[in-house]
Amino acid sequence: MIEAHLPALQVVLPLLAAPLCVVLRNGTAAWALTLATSWAALAVAVALLVKVLADGPISYELGNWLAPWGIEYKIDAVNAFILVVVAAIGAIVVPYAYASVRAEIEEERIYLFYCMYLLTLTGLLGIVITGDAFNIFVFLEISSLSTYVLVGLGRDRRALTAAYQYLIMGTIGATFILIGIGLLYMMTGTLNIADLAKRVPPLAGNRTVLAAFGFITVGASLKLALFPLHHWLPNAYAYAPSTVSAFLAGTATKVSLYILIRFIFTVFGASFAFKTLPLDIVLSVLAVLAMFVSSTVAIFQRDIKRLLAYSSIAQIGYMILGISFASVTGVAASLLHIFNHALMKGGLFLALGCVMLRLGSVRIEDMHGLGRTMPVTMAAFVIGGLSLIGIPLTAGFISKWYLVLAALESGRWYFAVLIVLSSLLAVIYVWRIIEVAYFRPAPRSEAAEPVREAPASMLIPMWVLIGANIYFGVETSASVGVARQAAAMLLGSGP
């Protein structure tokens, strides 16, 4: 009986748990509830993925109102894949959060942190699972507002300005998406995505539809931090609590990328976006700029969280580049990178959180000799860094491989060269950290207790993500298979 209602449960479980955290009021009880809920959400997401891969797309009508009049949850290979990514990061970060949140946020506010965390998870899962355009906007705002609060809970007072800037830019982005959805509704009279997919392509030359496309693309680009609309991201990731940075790095921008993919490929259709309009040129130019400019800026950062934030902007550039090829391999490479990047960046931010816990700072000048004092953490960091560069045997290599393959397949070999060159930039900023951690002597600590390794409750989740990097770098059939199937479905040549 539960199986029939899995799509609804995916969103309802965290939604019910969030106010329960407020009722419970105790930090530890709230953490336990969050742990149980996020693991249950992961179980539901995996069950949905298995079901979709076996039986094909699932449809669930809310309130028993038939689509296209009612709100429908439509799950196909793309949705299910991204649901698993979001739910997995959401589940792995919670055991880690026990110690990290306790150290970074005041005791009286911890239950509120977990309430916001669950609301963010609800919103993100809801965006991915829903098949109704306006529902996407509603869940987008739910997740965004809770994210602003999570970012603002950071210790540094600059977390407040970072959260404020994120709020302003994020709300503009979401309002643009709202305008786009409104214009589409005006032209077609429906909000259901499957129905829009039938009614919008025949209207391709219409000026309102063109305007809607523009608004939705720009709005989604603001939320996914596509260069040059990325200014909110470095501050938000740098000053947020470590758990929040790790959670957001793997989920928030990727879900906005999903919104862009869904609208471009399902609603408007690849031929409208890439043949009628020069979206492929615009996206590929911006993606290459993101890759090079952000990687270069990352090299000069002294705050390592900021460095990883700029690196994230560059990685989003890779994902957008994959989409701009508009081929099955290209879109599959993007979807694959969504998964692999969540593993990489999640693991790296978790490692930084361990450093923050023990050192109280993540500036590069404070990290001298960390390779000796915190060997387990820095080893994880090294592997994450190698994955970021794209060394063979890591997950990062697989994504870059498919991106290069897509570039060569579409005849644009110069993009393959650019991808390799920007990976070299990544070598520089990863090497900076490794050099400081391993090849400089640790400072004589005047503090009473010497720097030790982080607690196991933080090390284990971190190593789960980093280990997954290596696992999915070697055993690629699962991730690549699902990504290919999803991409084929998006481009209309699959089930």
Partner 1 sequence: MKHHFILRVIAKFAIPFILLYALYVQFHGDFGPGGGFQAGVIFAAAFILYALIFGMEKARHAAPSAAIRLGIALGVLIYAGTGVAGILLGGKFLDYSVLAHDPTHGQHLGILIVEFGVGLTVASVMIAVFFAFASRPRSEG
Partner 2 sequence: MDVLDRVLGLYNYWIVIVLMMVGFYVVMASRNLIKKIIGLSIFQTSVFLLYISVGKVRGGSAPILDKAIETYSNPLPHVLILTAIVVGVATTALGLAFVVRIKEAYGTTEEDEIHKQDERSD
Q: Which two tokens stand for residue 448?
A: 């009473």
- 160 counts as binding partner 1 under rule CB under 8 A: no
Nearest distance from C-beta of residue 186 to partner 2, angstroms? 5
Sign, CA torsion 271/402/486/126: negative
- 46 counts as binding partner 1 under rule CB under 8 A: no
- 161 counts as binding partner 2 under rule CB under 8 A: yes
Distance (Å, whole) CA 67 – CA 73: 10
Residue (23 or 456) nearer to partner 1, CB: 23
Distance (Å, whole) CA 39 – CA 326: 35
- Using CB under 8 A, which of the segments 59-67, 83-91, 96-104, 387-395 binds partner 1? 59-67
Nearest distance from C-beta of residue 114 to partner 1, angstroms? 13
Q: Residue 314, Cα to own-chain centre: how many angstroms?
A: 13
- Using CB under 8 A, which of the segments 5-13, 75-83, 197-205, 237-245 binds partner 1? 5-13
- 8 counts as binding partner 1 under rule CB under 8 A: yes
Sign, CA torsion 205/206/211/216: negative
Nearest distance from C-beta of residue 156 to partner 2, angstroms? 9
Q: Which of 18, 142, 150, 286 binds partner 1 (CB under 8 A)?
A: 18
- 62 counts as binding partner 2 under rule CB under 8 A: no
> Nearest 5°: phi and psi at 475?
-100, 90
DSSP string, 62-76: GGGPPTTTS-EEEE-
CA angle (374, 295, 436) in 5-degree steps: 25
Q: Mark residues 190-229: x for contact with partner 2 by CB under 8 A, - for none.
A: -x--------------------------------------
Could you tell me if 166 and 232 are in contact, meaning their C-beta atoms sit under 8 angstroms apart?
yes
Bridge partners of residue 59, in order along the sequence: 74
> Nearest 5°: phi and psi at 102?
-60, -35
Which residue do the tokens 């400081």 mark? Answer: 436
Q: Which two tokens stand for residue 94?
A: 């919670």
Number of residues that bind partner 1 (CB under 8 A): 16
- 168 counts as binding partner 2 under rule CB under 8 A: yes
- Using CB under 8 A, which of the segments 184-192, 247-255, 263-271, 397-405 binds partner 2? 184-192
CA distances to 109, 132, 150, 425 from 247, in Å: 19, 26, 10, 25
Q: Which of 37, 38, 60, 383 binds partner 1 (CB under 8 A)?
A: 60
Length of the chain: 495
- Using CB under 8 A, which of the segments 9-17, 82-90, 309-317, 356-364 binds partner 1? 9-17
Residues binding partner 2 (CB under 8 A): 134, 137-138, 141, 145, 148-149, 152, 157-158, 160-161, 163-164, 167-168, 171-172, 175, 178-179, 182, 185-186, 191
Residues binding partner 1 (CB under 8 A): 5, 8, 12, 15-16, 18-20, 22-23, 25, 60-64
